Amino acid sequence: MQLAKNLSQLGTETAFEVLARAAKLAAAGKDVINLGIGQPDFKTPTHVVEAAIKAMRDGHHGYTPAKGIPALREAVANDVHIRRGVSVDPENIMIMPGGKPTMFFAIMMFGEPGAEIIYPNPGFPIYESAIRYVGAKPVPMRLLEEKGFAFSADEVLGQITDKTRLIIINTPANPTGGVTPKAELDKLAAGLERWPNVALMSDEIYDRMLYDGLQHASMLAYEGLRDRLIVLNGWSKTYAMTGWRLGYSIWPEKLISHVEKLAVNNHSCVNAPTQFAGIAALEGPQSAVDEMLVAFSERRRVIVDGLNAIPGIRCAEPGGAFYAFPNIEGTGMDSKTLQSRLLEEAGVAVVAGTSFGALGEGFVRFSYAASLAEIEDALARIKKVID
């Protein structure tokens, strides 16, 4: 067999490997606390599950339009209008099997040898993986601890060259929990006026997960960017629906037919019952989302304080998402070593910062999508390993 060369460029999401190793240890009888995987430890709200069951019983078993059923696209447009005060044409909304396909399609659309794509580092690992896969040059947008892991618009604008095709931003961010202040977004939007050929993909999948009264600032607010802005969002995190595979993206008029074609070539459409569940999630009661956030907020306090109390660990306060990304340099271990020692010796699954890009060295990601009791137990175990 001769495999295509580009295949060797494809990276992965280490969290899935950690999950598999943790499951193997657990199956062998080890007591494992999983702070590795980025998914809420809550169940999808019951009314959402019921909507999918009803759709199945009502006979929604066939293909749907590749863009998604009109009622769901309208529900998304309404939700965006209510939450962001922005009007979006349902025709420019694409329903996707999760958040990931949007990033892959956007990168396929703009990336090729000779092109440059600026992406967050440390950041969601699939950005860099897909950029390398299509043969484009990945240009890391540095996210630094001392800046609360927010990006600097000046620095990003300074990285643009004639070869830059696409910039990817993500706030609130994975793996850092960092939230980039609106002032930086304003500056980026203003600066991009000088680069009308550069597209922007804003990954806003954690837009409902902010703490301490922080408000989400969507790139949709910048009217001048709308003709080259792709917004990625979805149900996975907000409604605890990671396994359903349901996401959406908003595309400029000029790009929507291209993404629709990519969808037809790739997956045809999202399964119909899940799309009905998506409507129920957006239009039904939001109390489950609120309750989940109250729980995350409390856990965030416990994990940040607990990590800061361990010698050698320093943890900045994350403003959003459900991750803590402490600096572990003081432990004398590199990220990968600490990841494997915590799993093998303490039974605590975490993900090394380097899994999110080279600039993640010296950090480890903790997902606090676990119960308070588990988090407290994990902190005690980690302290023992480090002591």
Contact residues toward ligand PLP (CB under 6 A) are: 38, 98-100, 124, 170, 174, 203, 205, 234, 236, 242, 247
Nearer to ligand PLP, 99 or 273 (CB): 99
Rounded to a whole number of angstroms, the minimum distance from the CB of residue 101 to ligand PLP is 7
Nearer to ligand PLP, 178 or 306 (CB): 178
Q: Which of 147, 154, 137, 138 is nearest to 173 (CA)?
A: 147
Nearer to ligand PLP, 242 or 331 (CB): 242
Sign for the pseudo-dihedral over CA of 170, 171, 174, 176: positive
Sign for the pseudo-dihedral over CA of 127, 129, 130, 135: positive
Q: Is the peptide bond before 175 cis (omega within 30 degrees of 0)?
A: yes
Nearer to ligand PLP, 310 or 325 (CB): 325
β-bridge pairing 229-234 and 247-250: antiparallel
Q: How far apart are CA 318 and CA 218, in angstroms?
A: 18
Q: How far apart are CA 285 and CA 355, in angstroms?
A: 36
AA letter at 101: P
Q: How far apart are CA 201 and CA 249, in angstroms?
A: 10
Q: Which of 272, 275, 227 is nearest to 251 (CA)?
A: 227
Query: Is 318:327 a contact under the CB 8 Å cutoff?
Result: no
Rounded to a whole number of angstroms, the minimum distance from the CB of residue 174 to ligand PLP is 3
Rounded to a whole number of angstroms, the minimum distance from the CB of residue 386 to ligand PLP is 27
Rounded to a whole number of angstroms, the minimum distance from the CB of residue 232 to ligand PLP is 6
Rounded to a whole number of angstroms, the minimum distance from the CB of residue 70 to ligand PLP is 22
Cβ neighbours around 183 below 10 Å, total:
11
Nearer to ligand PLP, 331 or 355 (CB): 355
Q: Is the peptide bond before 172 cis (omega within 30 degrees of 0)?
A: yes
Rounded to a whole number of angstroms, the minimum distance from the CB of residue 38 to ligand PLP is 4
Nearer to ligand PLP, 110 or 244 (CB): 244
Q: How far apart are CA 384 and CA 15, in angstroms?
A: 24
Query: Is 38:174 a contact under the CB 8 Å cutoff?
Result: yes
Nearer to ligand PLP, 175 or 347 (CB): 175
Nearer to ligand PLP, 16 or 89 (CB): 16
Rounded to a whole number of angstroms, the minimum distance from the CB of residue 337 to ligand PLP is 24
β-bridge pairing 229-234 and 199-203: parallel
Rounded to a whole number of angstroms, the minimum distance from the CB of residue 213 to ligand PLP is 22
Nearer to ligand PLP, 222 or 239 (CB): 239
Nearer to ligand PLP, 331 or 365 (CB): 365
Q: How far apart are CA 378 and CA 32, in angstroms?
A: 9
Q: How far apart are CA 314 and CA 232, in angstroms?
A: 31
Query: How far is residue 136 from each of residues 129, 270, 384, measured CA to CA in Å?
Result: 10, 28, 44
CA atoms within 13 A on the CB side of 8: 4
Rounded to a whole number of angstroms, the minimum distance from the CB of residue 47 to ligand PLP is 20
Rounded to a whole number of angstroms, the minimum distance from the CB of residue 325 to ligand PLP is 13
